Structure 1
Amino acid sequence: MLTALSIRDVVLIEALDLDFGEGLGVLTGETGAGKSILLDALGLALGGRGDSGLVRHGATQAVVTASFDAPSAPLAALLDDNGVEVEPGEPLLIRRVVKADGGSRAFVNTQPVSATLLREIAPRLVEIHGQHDDRGLLNPRGHRAMLDAFGKVDPAETARCWTAYRQAEAVLAAARAEIETAARDREWLEHSVAELQALGAEPGEEESLADKRRSMQRAEKIADDLSAIEDHLEGSDGGLARLRQAARVLERVAPDHESLAEALAAVDRAVIEASAAEERLREARHALAFDPRALEEDESRLFDLRAMARKHRVQPDDLAALTEDLAGRLQRLDAGEGGIAKLEATVASTRAAYDQAAAALSERRLAAAARLDGAVATELPPLKLDAARFRTVIAPLGPDGWSGAGKDRVEFEIATNPGAPFAPLAKIASGGELSRFLLALKVALAETGGAETMVFDEIDRGVGGAVASAIGERLARLARRTQLLVVTHSPQVAARGAAHLLIAKANDGTVTRTGVRQLSEAERREEIARMLSGATVTDEARAQAERLLETA
């Protein structure tokens, strides 16, 4: 619900702060007082065009701030998806700034947003109804959703079937494209698969071969050093043999002196360590054994892996996966029409399910349309539209227009005179007729919900008496469900308001300004009397105003 509107330097409005409450709020004033400026300011906050012509003469910028109750969960989710943080339970503040030299900025709760986002959230906040509104009831793009809401028609099953059908079509199209591409490349595919399978690359094989190759190359370099070490240790003249000979001699003489015994122990330890060293050297020679033929084979395998990887523009470790992928493509190509036929059957079955769901949805819409036509017809005579006829047109869409919402095009049409053809709402020539008809339609659709705030711009244009009273009664009825703001010239409508705002223009000799103020009960009676009698307010007009207020 719109709770407040702050306007700074918009056309003739220098500074204006308005508070709004629940129910029906009426805005009155003489012709040219600036009622349209007020609606232009609200429209600006809701994403309307940021024209620099809206900036008051002499000001650098125009600023409009609209305050709303805490947003609904769906609206909060939409804002969150667009990076706008909204604290639960906190009001929603929308501010729009238009520069005199061009350009505009928009903010939601102090966070900068685009005017496009404002236009997206606007219908969830405010509905503006009038002959120049192309986003409300006049826009046929919203008629299908309105009819579904009125008839409580849920398209969820149709949407599910549509998603399944489109996914099946996408899988089939991808399979056909793959087979077509693969068929063109069959010769290359067969050669590549044969070549890769013959190579038989394994993940991690390149690193293993490279490590082995480095080890053998190193072994080749240190082979002479290892041989020299063995010569020093092994053999009859090697160091280990001489240590053992020394140990045998020491064993005979060790009892003769304590130092000889210690020397024997030391030599024994040396023999043990030298034996361990000999064993380690033997193991190292075995591990680092240099086989020129094995080195050549490993290098050849390594070069083959790397060459194949370069050829297919992958890493060597990815060759195994590539082999599997290309083999799978070749297998699917060989499977050919058998696989396609199965996918085509899936498409056919999901299409049949969608057709059935869409047909059932159309039947429910037809039933809802009949009820809506009847509800609107009931509202027309009291609004002096006795000769008008309303119908809800449900027509099939072409395949390009099918969606999760079904196959139907829905549009509201009206014929205003006997014998006249039906035409879209926007084609109604008379602004007064259109406004009254929009009210009848909105009353019929009242149960469908919508924005928490509705604005009717001069819906009573060109009517009076009983028709104006009927309009006022219906506006008051709508206002029980939602906040309603009405710009009106009708005293019968003004008398129905829970709050009455007067829009007036003042001139101090140099500057003309538009102001708005809420009227007291006495002021309200005087304003309604003015609306009844014109420039000169008579006692009779005041008495009639009193009667209107009492019966409202």
Structure 2
Amino acid sequence: MLVSLFVKDFAIVREIEIAPVGGLTVVSGETGAGKSLLVDALMLLTGARADAGAVRHGAERAELVARFAPAADSPALAWLHENDLDEDAECQLRRVIRADGGSRAWINGRPATVAQLAALGALLVEIHGQHEHQALLDRRHQLALLDAFARHPEALAQLRDSARDWQRATQAITALQARGDSADRRLYLEHQIAELANENLAPEAIENLLNEHRRQSHATALIEGCGRAAAVLEGDLPDLLRRLRHDLMRLVEHEPGLAEIDALLDGAQIQVDEAAAALERLRDGFDLDPERLAALDARLARLHDLARKHRTTLPALAARQQALQQELDELGNSEAQLADLARARDDALARWRSAAAQVSAGRKDAATTLSTRVSAIMDGLGMAGGTFAASLEPIDGDAPQGDGAERVEFLVSANPGQPARALRKVASGGELSRISLAIEVAAMGLDAVPTMVFDEVDTGIGGAVAEVVGQALRALGNERQVLCVTHLPQVAAQGHQHLRVSKADDGDGTQSRIEALDAQARVDELARMLGGVDITKATLAHARQMLDHAQRRG
């Protein structure tokens, strides 16, 4: 549910914050006070398009923050986890709109796109107001609501699983068939593998080959270099070290520290002797063999040709050989694989048809019941003679669909004698909101979205109809958190919480304010809504009676 909504420098709002309760929160106020600004703020926080006009005059930017407390099993929490945006059990949406029209968004303090706001917002808030913001205008949402009303989650899961299995099998078959004639491909692979098999492609073998080739290529230089170094180490250097040690030892009695230097020279003499011996062994191991060098050149050339042919490096040739062998093995089983995949696809199709038939039957029954219930509720909401129908339309094509074999369209006739039209084409905003309310009441408790917002649901009605609308909203509030912007006291009296929006000139321009009303303030506000400018004792008594009567209904 929505825990708090903070708005700063938005339209005519300098700064306000509200904390809606868990039931029905009604918002009232004089015309032009900014009652619908809270709805507008929620729409922007759930992905609506922003423009510079949203920023209060004279401010650099508008800031909107909504904090939600999703249930533990909420789809919203699952979405946050899947998108690495979860933060304990909190959910905070924040959006900043600059005076130049640009905007930025955050989810739980992390930068987010407007598309992400919209995706998450659809799981948190359902706004019923103007056409472009109606959740129930989305045919996917209509289908989800009808399926929830039908109560067949197991059949839906089987439907989606079998459609996914059919698609995967079909894609695998297409991929295998795209390889063309497997016999030609096998011959090609066999030739390539045989060509690679003529060489020792083990990485260590290639490394040894490269090292030996380097030694053979530079054998002359290595022999000459080792000879020069050996001549120095075996020539005057050893004799020079011996004379140096003899001279120092004659002076040791005068300086004992020279004994340590003599020890170092003794070690150096030993190392010089060992180095000379090692050079001699290396020099003797070098072999000037032109034929061997030519053989190494030829083998390296073959390997480089293979690497270029297969567009890889020398060390990666072994992996390339394995990949070709794996493909050859798979091709050897391609016919068997195709047969297995075809059986899997046929099995998935059979399962889908069975699940689709079950889902279709459930939807048909649910559509009949939902249509009857909504039509009856519409009659009590000031649309006497109006009808509602959940129309099912078959989907063309043979490919199994994850949503089933049909789509749904909510059709409405608001007045007797008028033809039914798609809900998204209903002209009157007030009628559209009341129809949405009727649908939500008929499907009470089945909608997974925890917070519902109704903007001006009571437009064009009054009297007893307005009271019925208020009672319907209160009943819905017992199941979900509901926010309703209203101008009718019959509706406002039904709220579990009442917020009043007002405006005033504070010297810097007109500012909108909002306050939560206590019992006496609610009576005063209802009296204003009932009686206008002149509030009499009779008006106050009527307002108190209306509030007491509404609150006693529970």
- TM-score normalised by structure 2 residue count: 0.78
**Cα distance in structure 1, aligned partners of 2:397 and 2:545:** 59
**Cα distance in structure 2, aligned partners of 1:64 and 1:327:** 60
**Cα distance in structure 1, aligned partners of 2:61 and 2:345:** 58
Q: Secondary structure at the match of 2:487?
A: coil
Is the Cα contact below 8 Å between 1:179 and 1:336 reproduced in 2? no
Is the Cα contact below 8 Å between 1:205 and 1:317 reproduced in 2? no
2:78 is equivalent to residue 61 of structure 1 = no
Residues 267-416 of structure 1: pairs in structure 2 closer than 5 A: 297=295, 299-326=297-324, 329=327, 340-399=338-397, 403-416=401-414
Question: Per-residue deviation at 1:339?
Answer: 5.2
**Cα distance in structure 1, aligned partners of 2:337 and 2:523:** 81
2:42 is equivalent to residue 42 of structure 1 = yes
2:85 is equivalent to residue 87 of structure 1 = no
> What residue in structure 1 maps to residue 107 of structure 2?
108
Is the Cα contact below 8 Å between 1:26 and 1:499 reproduced in 2? yes
> What residue in structure 2 maps to residue 233 of structure 1?
none
Question: Per-residue deviation at 1:321?
Answer: 4.5
Is the Cα contact below 8 Å between 1:401 and 1:407 reproduced in 2? no
* Gap change, CA 1:208 and 1:107, over 3 Å in 2: closer
CA displacement 1:66-120 (0-9 Å, x = unmatched):
23335645423433444435134xx543332222233222233443333332222
2:521 is equivalent to residue 541 of structure 1 = no
Q: What code does the residue aligned with 2:19 have?
A: D
**Cα distance in structure 2, aligned partners of 1:412 and 1:23:** 27
Q: Secondary structure at the match of 1:447?
A: coil
* Gap change, CA 1:327 and 1:101, over 3 Å in 2: closer
* Gap change, CA 1:294 and 1:463, over 3 Å in 2: same
Q: What code does the residue aligned with 2:68 have?
A: F
* Gap change, CA 1:8 and 1:294, over 3 Å in 2: closer
Q: Which moved more, 1:521-530 or 1:435-444?
A: 521-530
* Gap change, CA 1:318 and 1:20, over 3 Å in 2: closer
Q: What code does the residue aligned with 2:30 have?
A: E
**Aligned to 2:486, which of 488, 507, 512?**
488
Is the Cα contact below 8 Å between 1:4 and 1:67 reproduced in 2? yes
**Cα distance in structure 1, aligned partners of 2:210 and 2:456:** 86
* Gap change, CA 1:63 and 1:309, over 3 Å in 2: closer
Is the Cα contact below 8 Å between 1:179 and 1:333 reproduced in 2? no
Q: Secondary structure at the match of 1:137?
A: helix
**Cα distance in structure 2, aligned partners of 1:327 and 1:510:** 80
CA displacement 1:10-61 (0-9 Å, x = unmatched):
2222232323222222111222222122322332333333221122222222
Q: What code does the residue aligned with 2:493 have?
A: A
**Cα distance in structure 2, aligned partners of 1:335 and 1:86:** 49
Q: Secondary structure at the match of 2:357?
A: helix
* Gap change, CA 1:179 and 1:332, over 3 Å in 2: farther
Q: Secondary structure at the match of 1:47?
A: coil
Q: Which moved more, 1:515-524 or 1:481-490?
A: 515-524
CA displacement 1:501-548 (0-9 Å, x = unmatched):
222232467732222223332332232223223333344333322321
Structure 2 residues not aligned, in runs of 5+: 228-279
> What residue in structure 1 maps to residue 244 of structure 2?
none
* Gap change, CA 1:320 and 1:503, over 3 Å in 2: closer
Residues 113-124 of structure 1: pairs in structure 2 closer than 5 A: 113-124=112-123
Is the Cα contact below 8 Å between 1:179 and 1:332 reproduced in 2? no
Question: Per-residue deviation at 1:323?
Answer: 4.1
> What residue in structure 1 maps to residue 195 of structure 2?
195
**Cα distance in structure 2, aligned partners of 1:401 and 1:102:** 44
* Gap change, CA 1:131 and 1:313, over 3 Å in 2: closer
CA displacement 1:473-499 (0-9 Å, x = unmatched):
111111112221111122211111122
**Cα distance in structure 2, aligned partners of 1:202 and 1:109:** 52
**Cα distance in structure 2, aligned partners of 1:213 and 1:196:** 21
Question: Per-residue deviation at 1:168?
Answer: 1.0
Q: Secondary structure at the match of 1:316?
A: coil
> What residue in structure 1 maps to residue 549 of structure 2?
551
* Gap change, CA 1:407 and 1:209, over 3 Å in 2: same
Question: Per-residue deviation at 1:191?
Answer: 4.9
**Cα distance in structure 1, aligned partners of 2:399 and 2:98:** 41
Q: Which moved more, 1:407-416 or 1:531-540?
A: 531-540
Question: Per-residue deviation at 1:164?
Answer: 1.5
CA displacement 1:245-273 (0-9 Å, x = unmatched):
xxxxxxxxxxxxxxxxxxxxxxxxxxxxx
Question: Per-residue deviation at 1:315?
Answer: 3.0
Structure 1 residues not aligned, in runs of 5+: 227-280
**Cα distance in structure 1, aligned partners of 2:18 and 2:201:** 78
**Cα distance in structure 1, aligned partners of 2:9 and 2:319:** 68
Q: Secondary structure at the match of 1:446?
A: coil
Q: Secondary structure at the match of 2:180?
A: helix
Is the Cα contact below 8 Å between 2:75 and 2:123 reproduced in 1? no
* Gap change, CA 1:206 and 1:369, over 3 Å in 2: same
* Gap change, CA 1:118 and 1:210, over 3 Å in 2: closer
Q: What code does the residue aligned with 1:79 have?
A: L
Is the Cα contact below 8 Å between 1:380 and 1:437 reproduced in 2? yes
Q: Secondary structure at the match of 1:161?
A: helix
Q: Which moved more, 1:478-487 or 1:324-333?
A: 324-333
* Gap change, CA 1:338 and 1:83, over 3 Å in 2: closer
CA displacement 1:142-200 (0-9 Å, x = unmatched):
111111222222221122212211111121111122226x7887886565455345557
Q: Secondary structure at the match of 2:137?
A: coil
* Gap change, CA 1:520 and 1:391, over 3 Å in 2: same
CA displacement 1:357-387 (0-9 Å, x = unmatched):
2232222222332332233234233223331
Q: What code does the residue aligned with 1:144 have?
A: L
* Gap change, CA 1:470 and 1:190, over 3 Å in 2: same
Q: Secondary structure at the match of 1:434?
A: helix
* Gap change, CA 1:331 and 1:411, over 3 Å in 2: same
Structure with larger Rg = 1
Residues 441-460 of structure 1: pairs in structure 2 closer than 5 A: 441-460=439-458
> What residue in structure 2 maps to residue 178 of structure 1?
179
Q: Secondary structure at the match of 1:448?
A: coil
Question: Per-residue deviation at 1:446?
Answer: 1.6
**Cα distance in structure 1, aligned partners of 2:217 and 2:498:** 99
2:5 is equivalent to residue 5 of structure 1 = yes
Report the number of matched residues.
494
Q: What code does the residue aligned with 2:463 have?
A: G
**Cα distance in structure 1, aligned partners of 2:82 and 2:333:** 44
Q: Secondary structure at the match of 2:133?
A: coil
* Gap change, CA 1:211 and 1:149, over 3 Å in 2: same
**Cα distance in structure 1, aligned partners of 2:498 and 2:439:** 25
Q: What code does the residue aligned with 1:159 have?
A: R
Question: Per-residue deviation at 1:448?
Answer: 1.0
**Cα distance in structure 2, aligned partners of 1:359 and 1:290:** 84
**Cα distance in structure 2, aligned partners of 1:153 and 1:163:** 19
- TM-score normalised by structure 1 residue count: 0.78
> What residue in structure 2 maps to residue 158 of structure 1?
159
Q: Secondary structure at the match of 1:59?
A: coil
CA displacement 1:452-481 (0-9 Å, x = unmatched):
222111111111222111111111111112
**Cα distance in structure 2, aligned partners of 1:418 and 1:366:** 24
Is the Cα contact below 8 Å between 2:162 and 2:348 reproduced in 1? yes
CA displacement 1:206-237 (0-9 Å, x = unmatched):
33444555677899987xx99xxxxxxxxxxx
